[in-house]
Amino acid sequence: MALTLNTPPSVRLSSIQANRVRFQPSLSPVSVSFSRRRLSVVAAETDANEVKSQAPDKAPASGGSSFNQLLGIKGAAQETNKWKIRLQLTKPVTWPPLVWGVVCGAAASGNFHWTIEDVAKSIACMLMSGPFLTGYTQTINDWYDREIDAINEPYRPIPSGAISENEVITQIWVLLLGGLGLAGLLDVWAGHDFPIVFYLALGGSLLSYIYSAPPLKLKQNGWIGNFALGASYISLPWWAGQALFGTLTPDIIVLTLLYSIAGLGIAIVNDFKSVEGDRALGLQSLPVAFGAETAKWICVGAIDITQLSVAGYLLGAGKPYYALALLALIGPQVFFQFKYFLKDPVKYDVKYQASAQPFLVLGLLVTALATSH
Local confidence band at 197 (pLDDT 50, 70, 90 cut-offs)? very high
| Domain locations in the chain as residue ranges | 62-371
pLDDT tens-digit readout, 138-169: 999 999 988 888 887 788 899 889 999 999 99
52 against 130, higher pLDDT: 130
Q: For the CA atoms of 266, 254, 109, 356, what is the dihedral angle to 10 degrees?
A: 20
CATH of 62-371, one of 3.40.720, 1.20.1440, 1.10.600, 3.40.50: 1.10.600
DSSP assignment of 285-321 equals -HHHHH-HHHHHHHHHHHHHHHHHHHHHHHHHTT-HH
359 against 57, higher pLDDT: 359
pLDDT for position 219: 84
DSSP assignment of 123-156 equals HHHHHIIIIIIIHHHHHHHHHHTHHHHHHH-TTS
Position 231 pLDDT exceeds 50: yes
Most confident listed range (46-55, 228-237, 327-336)? 327-336
The pLDDT mean for the chain works out to: 82
Least confident of 84-93, 294-303, 315-324: 84-93
pLDDT tens-digit readout, 24-53: 333 333 333 333 333 333 333 334 343 343
Position 301 pLDDT exceeds 50: yes
pLDDT for position 37: 38
1 against 356, higher pLDDT: 356
pLDDT for position 61: 45
pLDDT for position 68: 65
Q: How far apart are CA 298 and CA 68, in angstroms?
A: 28
The percent of residues above 70 in pLDDT, for the chain, comes to: 79
pLDDT for position 299: 95
pLDDT tens-digit readout, 269-289: 988 988 887 888 777 889 999
pLDDT for position 313: 93
Region 318-331 average pLDDT: 96
What burial class does residue 161 get, using C-beta atoms within 10 Å of its C-beta: 0-12 exposed, 13-18 middle, 19+ buried? Answer: middle
